[in-house]
Amino acid sequence: MLGRSKHYYDLLTDLMINDLITLDEFNTLVEVRKAWSLAEKNGITVKDAFTAVRRVNGVYLKIRERYS
């Protein structure tokens, strides 16, 4: 698990350093990852999945709009 988390945060950091995502988007994706990890421990609910997908989709739409 630690290896996957480290890789995830390294990837997000690289995206931010290369100006592909903003600090706000970075923070949103970090919060989603933390919430998902907590949900995995307690059992993932439909609400958890819906919230995660909605937030990630919001970041995706911002990036898509910026680079379209």
Per-residue model confidence as pLDDT tens digits over 19-29: 999 999 999 99
pTM for this model (two decimals): 0.83
For residues 24 and 45, give the distance between their C-alpha atoms in angstroms, rounded to a whole number. 26
The whole-number pLDDT of residue 6 equals 77
What secondary structure does DSSP assign to 17-60, as a single string?
HTTSS-HHHHHHHHHHHHHHHHHHHH---HHHHHHHHHHHHHHH
Read off the DSSP letter of residue 1. -
Q: Which of residues 57 and 38 earns the better pLDDT score?
A: 57
- Each domain of the chain, given as residue ranges in start order, spans 2-67
